[in-house]
Amino acid sequence: MKKFPLKKYSDSNLFFKDYSRIKSEVLNKLDFKIISNICFLLEKVIRNKKNIFVCGNGGSASVANHFICDFNKGIKISSKNRVIPRVISLNLSNELLTAIGNDLSFSKIFSHQLDNYANIGDCLITLSCSGNSKNIIDAIKFAKKRKIKVVSLTGFYTKSLIKSDYHLDIGCKNYGICEDIFQSIMHMIAQFVRQKFEIKSL
């Protein structure tokens, strides 16, 4: 498990170099086989015209929202509108999130939406640095009951409570680095799937 920082820095250049070094080391140690399996799962979901739900907290919420752009627009354009992904970020509506959180429970902000929209054959992608967020765990449990495939990206999750179909742990206890790599993984998956759907390969 990589940790950063382990000391106080007075030299900003040294801090930036160490941050970049740790991020590079963690990125290069990712289990790319799992990422490949995630790509094939999402390709199958897209071909079957099913939904891909994405959610996260804090900075991970912004990565969840970014999925919409890279999939719904990017793949659709590359395939000349022949393939239309349906990625839905459960983080997108502040109004709905706060209403559910206030009236029901913050732990239900994602699972309550899944109850409205999700069906067998859909997929849920969760992003959580700690892996212990109650709303993330609740969403995973709900998805499993509905027989929805679950992909979980975590940062420093060492327990075995998450029963996802595909679970990739970054192995770094630094929120910034984890979220950077979540974004990188999202781009890797989106760009790989996108080039498979390019019109010349259909």
Rounded Cα distance between 43 and 198, Å, is 13
What confidence score (pLDDT) does residue 201 get?
A: 45
Q: What total number of domains does the chain contain?
A: 1
Look at residue 46 and give its three-state secondary structure. Answer: helix
Partners of residue 125 on adjacent β-strands: 54, 151
User: CB of 117 within 8 A of CB of 141?
Assistant: no
Q: What is the CATH number of the domain that holds 167?
A: 3.40.50.10490
When pLDDT is averaged across residues 148-172 and rounded to a whole number, the result is 87
Report how far residue 105's alpha carbon sits from residue 117's, in angstroms, rounded to the nearest whole number. 19
Q: What is the pLDDT of residues 178-194, one digit of tens each?
A: 999 999 999 999 999 88
Q: Which domain holds residue 176?
A: 2-201
3-state secondary structure of 18: helix
Residue 72 has pLDDT above 70, yes or no: yes
